[in-house]
Structure 1
Amino acid sequence: MDLQLQGKTALVTGASRGIGLATARALAREGVQVVGAARTITPELEEVSVAAVPADLSTPDGAATVVDAALAELGGIDILVNNVGAGDADRFGLGGFLGIGDDQWRELLNLNLFSAVWATRGAMPSLLERQGAVVNVSSINARIPAPGPVGYSEAKAALTAFGKRPSEEFGPRGVRVNTVSPGVVGTALWRDPEGFGSRVAAANGVGHQEFLAAIPDHFGMASRRITEPEEVASLITFLVSGAAPNILGADIVIDGGTVKTS
């Protein structure tokens, strides 16, 4: 299938690892010039991108810096992938609603919602000029609230809703905006021996590998396996490509069958 991406340009946020890095690699393989942005730049991101921009996308200035750098490097933006986000329990408090203050709410909303709002606003003039495409990476936790940090599921739900607004406003002018909502994905968050998944396993008195093997049953995955970052990246690449010209305003779940409702 010809995805008609050769020679296009893309800005991918949260691109140093996981879904973001897999997406940068997938786009580059299709001939896209990629600018990757992340708080911390990794050698893997530098290898796959024409420019890697260090920035804190949870601030308006950081988002503006990233968009300006991408425009300067690429001359224009055809594709925007708003992937940056966080909800890892080692970074945020796991207390209940009454035990969590405003600071955590603000940080999670900035990371998971406003980063996409700011980046989309900055890139939209160029996207309109080029009739480009945007994908926001949300989560099934927008539909199934997680027992994790207070504010994460709510921020992802807001991100999913946000995608509808630019889709409706700019779709008639040639810009396609879609949302991808993964379930559990096999990133370092879950698989790193020192990561979140390992700590959850230890807290439950089981080995890390045993814990990972039990995830599909625990989440009721019909596929009986977790999703790989490359699979999410393939979906994103298809959505921003010329092979999906009339897909816009959609929220597409990729979760191995975790979500049982439409």
Structure 2
Amino acid sequence: MDLDLAGKTAVVTGASRGIGLAIAEALSAEGVRVVGAARTITSELEKTAHATVSVDLSSPEGATALVNTALDELGGIDILINNVGGGDIDQLALGGFLGTTDDQWRHALDVNLFSAVWTTRAALPSILDRRGAIVNISSVNAQLPATGPVGYSESKAALNAFGKRISEEFGARGVRVNTVSPGVVGTGTWRGANLVGARLAAARGLSHEELLAALPNQFEITSRRLTEPEEVAALVTFLVSGKASNIVGANLVIDGGTLKTS
């Protein structure tokens, strides 16, 4: 299927690895010029992106600097993918509500919600001019608030509402805003050593391998496997294309059947 994306421009946040890198690669393969943003730029991202920006998006200044650089590099922005999220491993609140500090709450909200608010606000004038598209990468955790670190599900639920608000305000002006909510995705976050999966395993008295093997049953994944980053990227790439021109304000779930209700 020709998605007619060649010559378009895009900003992808959190693009150095995992879902963000897979999205940058998929868009580049369609002929999109991508500016990839991350705190740490990887060699994989450098091979894929038209340009890279090392930036911390947990502040409004970082978001503004990213968009200004992207406008200089690209001349305008057709597509924004707000993918950055999760948070610093040392800031994740794994000890339950009573053990979560205000700083940990603020960190979760800054990384998972406000990074998208700030980046969207900076990029929107150009996206409006080009009648472009925005996709926010959320999570099924927005609908499963008892799972994951404290603050993560809550901030992703707010991100879903933010996408709806922006869609309603700017949809009639030609900007399509949608949300993609993956379930458990087989990225380094779960599979990598010393990251979230490994730390959750240790907190539960399991080996990392035992935790990974148990995830499909724990999350009641109907397909009995994790979603792969490339599958999320394929959905995002379709969503920002003209083939999805009347998908507006939607939240598309890609979770192998984890959520049992619509």
**Correspondence for 1:259:** 259
Structure 2 contact 216–226 (Cα < 8 Å) conserved: yes
Q: Does 1:211 align with 2:211?
A: yes
**Correspondence for 1:58:** 58
Matches within 5 A, 1:12-91: 12-87=12-87, 90-91=90-91
**Correspondence for 1:104:** 104
Deviation at 1:147, TM superposition (A): 3.5
Deviation at 1:89, TM superposition (A): 5.6
In structure 2, what is the Cα distance between the partners aligned to 1:17 and 1:57?
16
In structure 2, what is the Cα distance between the partners aligned to 1:195 and 1:99?
20
- CA gap of 1:203–1:106, structure 2 versus 1, over 3 A, is closer
Deviation at 1:203, TM superposition (A): 4.3
Give the gaps of 5 or more residues in structure 2: none
In structure 1, what is the Cα distance between the partners aligned to 2:140 and 2:217?
17
Task: Extract structure 1 runs of 4+ deviating beyond 6 A.
Answer: none
1:56 alignment partner, SS class? coil
**Correspondence for 1:236:** 236
Structure 1 contact 223–256 (Cα < 8 Å) conserved: yes
1:195-215 superposed Cα distances (whole Å, 9 cap, x missing partner): 332333344444433332221
1:5-46 superposed Cα distances (whole Å, 9 cap, x missing partner): 000000000000100000000000000000000111111111
Structure 2 contact 87–107 (Cα < 8 Å) conserved: no
In structure 1, what is the Cα distance between the partners aligned to 2:40 and 2:97?
31
**Correspondence for 1:250:** 250
1:96-151 superposed Cα distances (whole Å, 9 cap, x missing partner): 32332221111111101111011111111111111100000001010011433221
TM normalised by structure 1 equals 0.96
In structure 2, what is the Cα distance between the partners aligned to 1:91 and 1:228?
25
Matches within 5 A, 1:149-228: 149-228=149-228
2:62 alignment partner, SS class? helix
Structure 2 contact 93–151 (Cα < 8 Å) conserved: no
- CA gap of 1:66–1:87, structure 2 versus 1, over 3 A, is closer
In structure 1, what is the Cα distance between the partners aligned to 2:130 and 2:62?
24
Deviation at 1:52, TM superposition (A): 0.6
TM normalised by structure 2 equals 0.96
In structure 2, what is the Cα distance between the partners aligned to 1:208 and 1:76?
44
In structure 1, what is the Cα distance between the partners aligned to 2:223 and 2:214?
13
Give the gaps of 5 or more residues in structure 1: none
1:26-76 superposed Cα distances (whole Å, 9 cap, x missing partner): 000000000000111111111100111011101000000000011110000
Q: Percent identity, aligned pairs only?
A: 69
Deviation at 1:218, TM superposition (A): 1.3
Deviation at 1:257, TM superposition (A): 0.3
| Count of aligned residue pairs for this structure pair | 262
In structure 2, what is the Cα distance between the partners aligned to 1:56 and 1:193?
23
